[in-house]
């Protein structure tokens, strides 16, 4: 079982909706990530939080808004999304500089469909 828990597993939303994806880990990791994965593609980095501070924003549109309330939780707030935003959204965590071990611990993802 993955130690990174993502909710919901599936989400369908209209383009005018506001929704949030949630991620939780209890491994003591201080780096947390949001990735977007389209079918048959590798994960694409969206955001990195290090010690609860946003350290990387890969030029993601403002309709995606990340939040890290504490060291165990990571949220992704969604607003006014487009159909092309439909994808699997993966949360991951690691030790800081977290790539020190090269190991990201991924959740199972939230499958988002935008109508």
Interface mask toward other proteins for 87-106; x: CB under 8 A: ---x-x-x-xxxxx-xxx-x
| Residues 17-46, interacting with other proteins (CB under 8 A) | 31, 33, 40-43, 45
DSSP for 42-92 reads --EEEEEEETTEEEEE-S--TTEEEEEEETTEEEEEEES--GGG-EEEEEE
Smallest distance from the beta carbon of 51 to other proteins, in angstroms? 12
Task: Report the DSSP beta bridge partners of residue 85.
Answer: none
Radius of gyration (C-alpha) of the chain in whole angstroms: 13
Q: Which residues bind other proteins (CB under 8 A)?
A: 2, 4, 31, 33, 40-43, 45, 48, 50, 55-56, 90, 92, 94, 96-100, 102-104, 106-109
């Amino acid at each position: 079982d993955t130690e990174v828990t993502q909710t919901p597993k599936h989400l369908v939303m209209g383009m005018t909706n506001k929704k949030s994806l949630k991620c939780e880990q209890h491994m003591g990791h201080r780096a947390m990530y949001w990735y977007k994965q389209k079918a048959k593609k590798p994960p694409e980095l969206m955001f990195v939080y290090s010690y609860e501070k946003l350290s990387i924003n890969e030029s993601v549109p403002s309709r995606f808004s990340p939040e890290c309330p504490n060291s165990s939780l990571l949220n992704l707030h969604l607003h006014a999304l487009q159909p092309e935003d439909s994808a699997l959204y993966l949360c991951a965590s690691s030790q800081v500089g977290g790539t020190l071990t090269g190991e990201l611990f991924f959740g199972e993802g939230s499958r988002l469909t935008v109508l």
